[in-house]
Amino acid sequence: MQTAFYNTGSIYLLLKHPHIILNSNIRMEVIRDKAEMRAWSRRMRRDGKSLVLVPTMGYLHEGHLSLVREARSHADVIVVSVYVNPGQFAPSEDLSTYPSDMQGDLQKLSQMGVVQAVFCPRNLYDYDSPGPLAVPPRHHLSVVSGEEQAQISCIEKESAHETWIKVERLEKGMCGASRPVFFRGVATVVTKLFHIVEPDVAIFGKKDYQQWRIISRMVRDLDFAIEIVGSEIVREADGLAMSSRNVRLSPRNRKQALSIYKALSEAKVGVSKGRILSQEIKDSIVQTVSDSGGRMDYVEIVEQESLTPVEKIDCSVVICIAAWFGDVRLIDNMEIDAPAVL
């Protein structure tokens, strides 16, 4: 058993004694073990409760908390998972510098007073018995080229895990083009979380638009009995989309990063005035972001569900951007619904 109950005064005790049970009005269980998580969920179900899962990688901000608020209207019991998934990071990416603050996360979730369980596994790829047919780790980073490293995740480095979920077409463009193992890793860890938590509903932020669409497609294609809900982007007062990575921006880069929201907002106004040629809009966006000092990774204008690029905005689209500010890569997007452009 690796369960703890948690209230705001108990952080120290929780971290020191993960099994400690504290009395409070709102009992939030902190579960580290996957079998325990599954057993907990099943107990809830036996009691007739429906479950909603909010998957996160922690370092929680208002964007994450808005998903928890959204979750309240979708099921009886809210489970939040906090797990930085090595399966979606290539060895060259920022897994080692990804911010974390478990203590702060538990405090924020506890203060909301609506979360019944936090699932924070140590390692989701640590299998008790590899079995006779398990393969040894296939890639040793010291002997693979830089190009090959982009094609493997941090998991291949040290685990015999070899099963991956790929949403073939949707994962190819945009973030999938610059991060070849990213969506394979996301779809796989989300599948693992779904099998462990067994929720009825799961909430994803539209901030990660392509991710939300990929998970929705995966759930449809593989007949998961789970409803996927997309929740709106939460921004800072000045428009910057909230992200755990924002904390790594220097003050200068933080200012420059505002160009993303500026470019997206200008594009939306432009469209409402009849400027509907995608290439023209993308050129302006690239200009705005580059002028600020940012380095564009991609900008795409795609149909909202299929994520197919459009030449003209004559249907509901989303403009998706990824750009670098210093060594921090940020993503953002803006939906433009068809009625606004017809």
Cα–Cα distance list, 238 to 231, 254, 255, 265, 315 (Å): 20, 11, 10, 12, 29
Q: Which residues contact 131 (CB under 8 A, 6 or more apart)?
A: none
Burial 204-220 (b: 16+ CB within 10 A, else e): bbbbbbbbbbbbbbbbe
Of 61 and 268, CB closest to ligand AMP = 61
Q: Does 189 help bind ligand AMP (rule: CB under 6 A)? A: no
Q: Which stretch binds ligand AMP (CB under 6 A): 11-19, 105-113, 139-147, 204-212?
A: 204-212
Of 125 and 204, CB closest to ligand AMP = 204
Q: Does 56 help bind ligand AMP (rule: CB under 6 A)? A: yes
Listing DSSP states for 182-195 in one string gives HHHHHHHHHHHHHH
CB atoms within 10 A of CB 272: 12
Question: What element of type H or E holds 323?
Answer: strand 317-325
Among 235, 199, 247, which Cα is nearest to 101's? 247
Tell me the one-letter amino acid at 176: G
Q: Does 64 help bind ligand AMP (rule: CB under 6 A)? A: yes
Candidates 14, 67, 109, 281; binder of ligand AMP (CB under 6 A) is 67
Q: Does 66 help bind ligand AMP (rule: CB under 6 A)? A: yes
171 three-class SS: coil
Size of the site for ligand AMP (CB under 6 A): 17
Q: Which stretch binds ligand AMP (CB under 6 A): 61-69, 90-98, 102-110, 126-134?
A: 61-69
Of 58 and 294, CB closest to ligand AMP = 58
Of 58 and 91, CB closest to ligand AMP = 58
What's the 3-state SS for 39-105? HHHHHHHHCCCCEEEEEECCCCCHHHHHHHHHHCCCCCEEEEEECCCHHHCCCCCCCCCCCCCHHHH
Q: Which stretch binds ligand AMP (CB under 6 A): 55-63, 94-102, 143-151, 307-315?
A: 55-63
* Catalytic residue selected from 17, 61, 64, 195: 64
Q: Which stretch binds ligand AMP (CB under 6 A): 37-45, 62-70, 112-120, 166-174?
A: 62-70
Is 236:209 a contact under the CB 8 Å cutoff?
Answer: no
Residue tagged 């969920």 (tokens): 41
Binding mask 8-47 for ligand AMP (x = CB under 6 A): ----------------------------------------
Question: What element of type H or E holds 299?
Answer: strand 295-303
Listing DSSP states for 102-162 in one string gives HHHHHHHHHHHT-EEEEE--S-TT--S---TTPPPP---GGGS-HHHHTTS-HHHHH----
Minimum CB distance to ligand AMP, residue 54 (Å): 7
Tokens encoding 110: 């506890």
Minimum CB distance to ligand AMP, residue 144 (Å): 27
Minimum CB distance to ligand AMP, residue 275 (Å): 27
Candidates 149, 159, 244, 333; binder of ligand AMP (CB under 6 A) is 244
Q: Is 64 a catalytic residue?
A: yes
Q: Does 201 help bind ligand AMP (rule: CB under 6 A)? A: no
Q: Does 213 help bind ligand AMP (rule: CB under 6 A)? A: no
Rounded Cα–Cα distance for residues 319 and 296 (Å): 14
Q: Does 242 help bind ligand AMP (rule: CB under 6 A)? A: yes
Q: Which stretch binds ligand AMP (CB under 6 A): 30-38, 72-80, 202-210, 280-288?
A: 202-210
Q: Does 204 help bind ligand AMP (rule: CB under 6 A)? A: yes
Which residues of the shown chain bind ligand AMP in the complex (CB under 6 A)?
56-57, 63-64, 66-67, 204-205, 207-208, 231, 233-234, 241-244
Residues labelled as active-site residues: 64
